[in-house]
Structure 1
Amino acid sequence: MPNSKSPRASYHHGDLANALTVAATELARTGGPEAVVLREAARKVGVSATAAYRHFEGRGELIHAVKELALTELAARMQDELATSEPVPDPPAEALRRLRALGTGYIRFALAEPGLFRTAFCRADTPGMESEPVDMLGTRSFQMLVETLDTLVGCGWIPPDRRPYLELAAWSTVHGMADLLLDGPLRLCPPDQQEAAIQRALDMVADGIAALAAGHAGPAKVGPAP
């Protein structure tokens, strides 16, 4: 007679797909995208692989779900960073404060959660991990950047004709810095040099955007590197 107290029999979650996603996210947190395996997520939840495959056709679908959850955590980290400093009354200065805070939160998330960060941006066509690409332009983290830059246009600080693709340039700089710190040569630098490099990258983004204000001196930089 089967043991009625086995993990499978005692499983009572109402949303197995969500439970599997959460379990897989924890796998990604500790081991990156390579650690996301449907059978292992099922084992952690306490269900059979057969039950798991009713909700995810394969590893690619599960990784896609983990990517979305990881990007949600990224946005939350960026939002938390915004709350670490007080808003300022001048709209352009406030937008630049937000810009630096969002970039800082992005990089801090990458350093604090390397497994989730790597999973969020792992290639969708990697053998064994094929998945639908995440629409980054629709994520909350990206939209916060878009909204901040739109504020600078709305207050007349950035000319409308200089606005297109500005968010992509800013994102590329910050993401590139995060990637270099995690998996590039900057990972070998001492912490103080890493911090200086982060601040210089943020300076470059903020100063470059400030330079678009033709004929406008712009507000003082927010939190410049020494």
Structure 2
Amino acid sequence: MTRNTPTVAEPPPAPTTQPDSTPTPARTTYRHGDLRRALLDAGIDLARAGGPEAIVLREATRRAGVVPNAAYRHFANRQDLLEAVRAAALSQLAMEMEAAMEAERATVSPEDEQVDAADAADAATRARAMLRAVGRGYLRYAQRETGLFRTAFSVREQARQVEEEADPAKAGNSGLNPFQLLSAALDGLVTAGLLSSGRRRGAEYLAWAAVHGLAMLALDGPLHGRPAEEIDALSQRLLEMVEQGL
């Protein structure tokens, strides 16, 4: 008797492995020098949103997309990053002051400036306008970039020192920092015959105290929350008082 042997079905062929068409995410890498800039930018963003207290080195590394230990090649600790952000804030403040000065200069055409170059009255008018522009830019930055403005004056040891030395990290496009821009504007008053050399001495601190005081009253004092139009009007009056008082 013949026994039928069951037929064993062959397993289906294994599917051909297709190459994964999903692109591999590009790995973020930093060339030499790029990481420091990325960390600084992250620190600036943190300060802009929350002032100096918001600057945390670990959070800056997270935003830069690197492990925390990578930051120590560029910033030894949080204080190092804070001081770098402070320098950047001073630089931005200087550029805001320069922008206000440039806008003031634009009101005088080159032709008029050449014709009236020897006119003492016009020179005095321009000198006064530059001093007011310096103060206007300072107050404007305090209102627009409150977090960075606070950071600019947050490092106690540094804030006690007048920034008289040239430092590109703290300077605007002219190469001058905010204190130097104020000093140059006051020197312009002397050149125009509006301020004697005797009264020029120490005038930076008087003008700075008045303008910075108003800025802080608007940020943390009784002027906080007042309409922008009111702050602008008070700013204009203050700048006129400073100019006349000198």
Q: Does 1:100 align with 2:119?
A: no
CA contact (8 A) 2:131 2:243 kept: yes
The reply to whether residue 186 of structure 1 matches residue 213 of structure 2 is no
User: For residues 228 and 194 of structure 2, what CA distance do their matches in structure 1 show?
Assistant: 35
C-alpha distance after superposition, 1:65-99 (max 9, x if no partner): 00000111111111111122324652221111011
Residues 188 and 172 (structure 1 numbering): CA distance in 2 closer, same or farther, change over 3 Å? same
Runs of 4+ in 1 over 3 A off after TM superposition: 131-135
Instruction: Say which one has the larger Rg.
Output: 2
Partner Cα distance (1:132, 1:202) in 2: 23
What TM-score results when the alignment is normalised by the length of structure 1?
0.80
Deviation per residue, 1:79-135 (Å, 9 max, x gap): 11112232465222111101111111110111000010011111436xxxxx79665
RMSD: 2.2
More moved, 144-153 vs 31-40? 144-153
Equivalences for 1:39-54 in 2 at 5 Å? 39-54=58-73
Instruction: Determine if the alignment matches structure 1 residue 117 to structure 2 residue 152.
Output: no
CA distance in 2, matches of 1:165, 1:155: 18
Q: 1:10 is matched with which residue?
A: 28
Q: Is 1:137 matched with 2:156?
A: no
195-204 vs 168-177, which moves further = 195-204
SS at match of 2:224: helix
Unaligned runs of 5+ in 1: 126-130, 210-226
Superposition TM-score, scaled by structure 2 size: 0.74
Q: Distance in 1 between matches of 2:80 and 2:48?
A: 17
Greater Cα offset, 111-120 or 142-151: 142-151
Compute the displacement of 1:153 (Å).
Answer: 1.6
Identity, in percent, stands at: 42
Deviates more, 1:10-19 or 1:115-124: 10-19
Shift of 1:191: 3.2
